[in-house]
Structures are given as structure tokens and as C-alpha cells.
């Protein structure tokens, strides 16, 4: 606008106002549903076995909520076994916060297949594979083109939130510092909020 103004293309100098701001579109991640995650897990990859690791990394992210940097550092030292079951105890790379996450049977099976330590992987390659796998599970063209390993964290947050786990507990894993940012991250729509409200006696 400034360049066009200087070149006499227009005479509107509103952009000089102190409170002028350019609106920004928030790039929302659309998490996978549990059904879509299940379709991803059940894909027959016999024709593309080299994509299995990419699929497994994404599924781990959906059930652990860890960043890529944290998935890469998982080792047997991080896996602990108690009477209540196995859990992962890991200090996150980005925030330095120590988190503990219970391991469900899906996560345990995947990690045990790799000796509790994922093979080295390239994030760009994983993301390229995920876009192909996204088409196979029936995601539309737009969602498939955007799917990346980072969407696994958003999926974890959305699925655990929908299961009734308090957002403050989920935020301990995702690293969000405010509930407002967390709810924006999981992409809760007003319609979904109303549906949840109606389940509680307070709104009856």
C-alpha cells in the first residue's frame, strides 16, 4: 500500500494511521478423528512398506502428543513400568519440561517393534509419505495436502479433550500456557461447544 501510494496509484493514506493493522488469517490445523486415525493404523502398506515407519511415527504422535524432536529422542531409558502400566518419562527438547504419558497398547506395540527407540527418520520424508497415506484413508484433497507430522499433536489434543480429560492436564503435554490458545489449537467450533454443554446437567 505504501509503495502504491508513493507511485500515485491511490491517494488513501489510512495505512499511516497509528491503529492501522493488517488482518491475519489464522492457519488452523484440522485434527484427525479417531475413526481416521484407526483407518491410518489399519492401512495395508504391503505395496509401500517403506512408508510404514512414517505411518507409525504419526500414530505415536496421535497417542503421545509429543513434538517431532521429542519422538526422535525416545529411548529405552524413557520407558518405565509400574503396577498401573508402562509410561514414558521424557524431558521435552523445546521447553525443557519433564512430562509423563501413559502408554496404551497401540503405543507399546509400536515402540516394542523398534526396541523402544525409533529408527532415525527425516521429517520431510515422513511428511511426504503422510500426504500420500492421507489420500488412502479418504481425506479430501485440501486436508491431505496439509497433513504433516505436526498434525499428530493437534489430533492428540483434540481426541483427549473429547474423551473428557481436563484441558489443564492435556496442556502439560502439549506445552500450551493458556487455555484460550489450547482451545484454538484443538480447533473447537462453537457448534461442538454447544453439543458438549448440552451433555451436562448445568445446561438442562
Give the model confidence (pLDDT) of 114-129 as tens digits: 999 999 999 999 999 9
Q: What is the pTM for the complete model shown? A: 0.79
What pLDDT was estimated at residue 202? Answer: 67
Residue scoring higher pLDDT (166 or 47) = 47
Query: Any idea how long the chain is?
Result: 204
* End-to-end Cα distance, the chain: 52
Report d(CA 196, CA 180) in Å as an integer. Answer: 17
Kindly indicate the confidence band of residue 107, based on its pLDDT and cuts at 50, 70 and 90.
very high
Cα separation, 176 vs 168, in Å, equals: 9
Q: Which of the given ranges, 44-53, 171-180, 185-194, has the highest pLDDT on average?
A: 44-53
Do residues 40 and 195 lie in contact, with contact meaning Cβ atoms separated by under 8 Å?
no
Average pLDDT on 168-186 reads 81
Cell of 1: 500500500
Query: Which domains, ranges and CATH numbers included, belong to the chain?
Result: 29-156 (1.10.443.10)
Each residue's pLDDT tens digit, 82-106: 888 999 999 999 888 889 999 999 9
> 134: pLDDT confidence band, cut at 50, 70 and 90?
very high
**Angle (deg, nearest 10), helices 52-64 and 105-113:** 140
Interval 3-46: pLDDT, tens: 777 777 788 887 777 777 766 555 566 899 999 999 999 999 99
| Beta-bridge mates of residue 80 | 87
Closest CA to 151 of 31, 28, 41: 31
Instruction: Report whether 130 contacts 54 (CB < 8 A).
Output: yes
Amino acid at each position: 500500500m505504501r509503495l502504491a501510494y508513493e507511485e500515485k496509484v491511490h491517494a488513501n493514506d489510512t495505512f499511516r494511521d497509528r491503529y492501522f493493522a493488517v488482518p491475519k488469517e489464522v492457519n488452523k490445523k484440522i485434527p484427525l478423528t479417531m475413526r481416521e486415525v484407526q483407518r491410518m493404523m489399519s492401512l495395508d502398506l504391503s505395496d509401500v512398506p517403506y512408508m510404514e515407519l512414517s505411518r507409525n511415527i504419526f500414530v505415536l504422535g496421535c497417542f503421545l502428543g509429543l513434538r517431532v524432536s521429542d519422538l526422535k529422542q525416545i529411548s529405552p531409558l524413557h520407558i518405565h513400568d509400574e503396577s498401573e502400566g508402562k509410561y514414558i518419562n521424557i524431558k521435552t527438547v523445546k521447553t525443557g519440561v519433564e512430562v509423563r504419558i501413559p502408554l496404551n497398547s497401540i503405543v507399546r506395540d509400536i515402540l516394542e517393534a523398534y526396541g523402544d527407540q525409533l529408527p532415525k527418520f527425516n521429517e520431510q520424508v515422513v511428511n511426504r509419505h503422510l500426504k500420500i497415506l492421507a489420500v488412502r484413508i479418504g481425506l479430501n484433497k485440501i486436508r491431505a495436502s496439509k497433513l504433516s507430522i505436526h498434525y499428530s499433536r493437534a489430533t492428540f489434543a483434540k481426541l483427549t479433550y473429547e474423551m473428557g480429560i481436563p484441558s489443564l492436564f492435556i496442556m502439560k503435554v502439549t506445552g500450551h500456557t493458556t487455555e484460550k490458545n489450547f482451545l484454538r489449537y484443538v480447533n473447537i467450533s462453537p457448534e461442538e461447544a454447544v453439543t458438549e454443554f448440552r451433555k451436562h446437567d448445568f445446561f438442562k
